Amino acid sequence: MPLPEGTIPVGVGLLVAGVASFAFFKVGTTALGGERQFKPLQNLWFATFALAPGFFLPLEQELGRALSHRRASGQGGRPVARKVMRLGAILAALVVVAILLASPVITSSYFDHDWVMLGALMVAFIAYAPAHISRGITSGSGRFRAYAIVLGADGVIRIILCVLLALVGVKTAGPFGFAVAVSPLFGVAYVLYRKELRTDPGPEASWQEVTPNLGWLLLGSVFAAGLVNAGPVAANLLSDKGQDEKVTQFGKGVLLARIPLFLFQAVQAALLPRLARLAARNELEEFRTGFRKLMQIVAAVGVLGTAGAYVLGPWIVEKMYAVQLSRRTMAMLALGSALYMVALALAQAVIALEGHALVALGWTIGMATFIVATWLTSSDLFKRVEMGLVLSSLTALISFAVALRSRLRAGVSPTPESLLEAFTDMPLES
């Protein structure tokens, strides 16, 4: 079982990435001179983390699974890595072409006719391909310290670059956008220099070896990453002229409401291995008991987070970012984040029990719910997005709960490879 050795480094990497994201929003707003000037950079931020993990996380998971299997069998994984690299290049090229074809619409409706931000978005998307492939190589090879470096260095380098730009007096969003775009490459370059991306020669790999669950993982990942970033993206698309400041304020509220989710993903790195060992030994009754306790803890954290957001949220967001949001908005954002947190935990358990298609279905249902809810529930900008976030996470949660119950009743046992995919199923990057 390769998982337990990586729990602490991965948890640290996630926490570093989370803290760096809060600092980035503060530094960016201050350096650019206010909410209105920061809006293009915030739009780039949420678009990047809706697209990149959605498309490249499945490659990371499948590469990690295939390399882990070969490592357990005493076979080198270089042919597998090369195949996934080619697949990543093809996928990146297809998405970039799609962005270019839709560039007039994207630029006019999302980036307020800022073509520099569109260029930064494409560069960022391309840069995250080697980052995710590097994480797949390091996790599948059991080098979790290197995995954590790639994960955490992204956020640290991003904030360093932005501080440097602020110190030299840059006042336009473009350079900051490209700082976001290139930051993932620094961690990749470091672990490459340390030769921690090495793979050994081995038997030739077939496409079936590296893509058995790729389609389902890709579908689920695109909607999962899209859903966790859908609030600010939808608020920007649905806003009227003169609401720029409201959109950036809403984005910062979303970021603060994610604090329990950031912590949960870090804690998951320590909690999942125990559940994984129970499931691998087919001790499903103990697995149910342990997972039930985990869900009780997550639910308690969600309740406390939502109550705390209602009571203290407006005060915290004003102190941190000098913006004003209502108690309702902060509580609804925290509730949506809490429900997403429970849904993510359930989805990881379903993936561990070989339910990849069921996870894809659940996230698809969640995204469809978000679209319908933001369309029909209200005409108020914030309220319609808040309702979409809450209802979409709730429907995904219910779907995963039903799927998990079905898999457990069927007596399905996980494999080490499916456990590794569950372990790295973390769509929240920022």
pLDDT tens figures, 151-205: 889 889 999 999 999 899 888 899 999 999 999 999 999 999 999 999 999 889 8
Q: What pLDDT is stored for residue 351 in this prediction?
A: 83
Residues 191 and 239 in one domain: no
- pLDDT reading at 388 higher than 90: yes
Residues 177 and 291 in one domain: no
Q: What pLDDT is stored for residue 395 in this prediction?
A: 97
Q: What pLDDT is stored for residue 88 in this prediction?
A: 93
Q: What pLDDT is stored for residue 31 in this prediction?
A: 86
- Here the tokens at position 307 are 């109550």
Q: What pLDDT is stored for residue 381 in this prediction?
A: 87
Could you tell me if 418 and 65 are in contact, meaning their C-beta atoms sit under 8 angstroms apart?
yes
Is pLDDT larger for residue 393 or for residue 25?
A: 393
Residues 133 and 227 in one domain: no
Tell me the C-alpha distance between 111 and 202, whole Å.
Answer: 46
Tell me the C-alpha distance between 430 and 248, whole Å.
Answer: 16
* DSSP-derived 3-state class of residue 202: coil
Spatial CA neighbour of 63 closest among 38, 40, 83: 83
**Domain stops at, among 158, 188, 211:** 211
Domain that holds residue 151: 1-211
Q: What pLDDT is stored for residue 243 in this prediction?
A: 83
Q: What pLDDT is stored for residue 1 in this prediction?
A: 38
Could you tell me if 348 and 422 are in contact, meaning their C-beta atoms sit under 8 angstroms apart?
yes
Spatial CA neighbour of 417 closest among 159, 67, 146, 41: 67
Tell me the C-alpha distance between 72 and 70, whole Å.
Answer: 5
Stated as kind and residue range, the H or E segment containing 130 is helix 115-140
Helices (H), ranges, 141-183:
144-167, 173-182
- pLDDT reading at 123 higher than 60: yes
Task: Provide CB contacts within 8 A for 134, sequence distance 6+.
Answer: 146, 150, 187, 188, 191, 192, 197
267 pLDDT tier (thresholds 50, 70, 90): low
Residues 309 and 407 in one domain: yes
pLDDT over 70 percentage in the chain: 88
Q: Compute the mean pLDDT over every residue in the chain, rounded to the nearest whole number.
A: 85
Tell me the C-alpha distance between 264 and 260, whole Å.
Answer: 6
**Domain stops at, among 164, 186, 211:** 211
Residues 206 and 218 in one domain: no
Residues 166 and 226 in one domain: no
Is pLDDT larger for residue 420 or for residue 318?
A: 318
Instruction: Tell me what the mean pLDDT of segment 392-396 comes to.
Output: 96
Spatial CA neighbour of 359 closest among 348, 367, 370: 348
Task: Provide CB contacts within 8 A for 90, sequence distance 6+.
Answer: none
Q: Give how many domains the chain has, as a whole number.
A: 2
97 pLDDT tier (thresholds 50, 70, 90): very high
CA dihedral 186, 258, 377, 36 (to 10 degrees): -60
Interval 269-327: pLDDT, tens:
555 556 555 665 667 677 677 777 777 877 888 888 899 899 998 998 888 888 888 99
The number of residues in the chain equals 430
Instruction: Tell me what the mean pLDDT of segment 384-413 comes to.
Output: 91
Pick from 113-127, 165-179, 400-414: least confident = 400-414
- How many CB atoms sit inside 10 A of residue 31's CB? 21
Task: Give 90: exposed, middle or buried? Use CB within 10 Å, 0-12, 13-18, 19+.
Answer: exposed
Q: Residue 216 gets which letter from DSSP?
A: H
328 pLDDT tier (thresholds 50, 70, 90): very high
85 pLDDT tier (thresholds 50, 70, 90): very high
- pLDDT reading at 360 higher than 80: yes
- How many CB atoms sit inside 10 A of residue 132's CB? 26
Residues 224 and 146 in one domain: no
Residues 193 and 243 in one domain: no
**Domain stops at, among 157, 180, 211:** 211
Could you tell me if 180 and 45 are in contact, meaning their C-beta atoms sit under 8 angstroms apart?
yes
Tell me the C-alpha distance between 107 and 344, whole Å.
Answer: 32
- pLDDT reading at 3 higher than 60: no
Phi–psi pair at 183, nearest 5 degrees: -60, -35
Q: What pLDDT is stored for residue 92 in this prediction?
A: 94
Task: Provide CB contacts within 8 A for 429, sequence distance 6+.
Answer: 17, 49, 52, 53, 154, 225
Q: What pLDDT is stored for residue 4 in this prediction?
A: 43
Tell me the C-alpha distance between 338 and 262, whole Å.
Answer: 11
Pick from 36-50, 60-74, 325-339: least confident = 60-74
Residues 274 and 147 in one domain: no
Residues 150 and 165 in one domain: yes
- Here the tokens at position 297 are 């803890």
Q: What pLDDT is stored for residue 426 in this prediction?
A: 64
Task: Provide CB contacts within 8 A for 75, sequence distance 6+.
Answer: 202, 203
Q: Which amino acid makes up residue 371?
A: I
Interval 210-229: pLDDT, tens:
888 888 888 998 999 899 88
94 pLDDT tier (thresholds 50, 70, 90): very high
Q: What pLDDT is stored for residue 274 in this prediction?
A: 60
Residues 112 and 87 in one domain: yes
pTM above 0.75, yes or no: yes
Q: Residue 426 gets which letter from DSSP?
A: -
Instruction: Tell me what the mean pLDDT of segment 231-241 comes to.
Output: 88
Q: What pLDDT is stored for residue 107 in this prediction?
A: 93
Residues 375 and 233 in one domain: yes
Q: What pLDDT is stored for residue 2 in this prediction?
A: 38
If you write DSSP's letter for every residue of 352-365 in order, what string do you get?
A: HTT-HHHHHHHHHH
Spatial CA neighbour of 47 closest among 255, 223, 230, 252: 230
Instruction: Tell me what the mean pLDDT of segment 64-91 comes to.
Output: 89
* DSSP-derived 3-state class of residue 188: helix
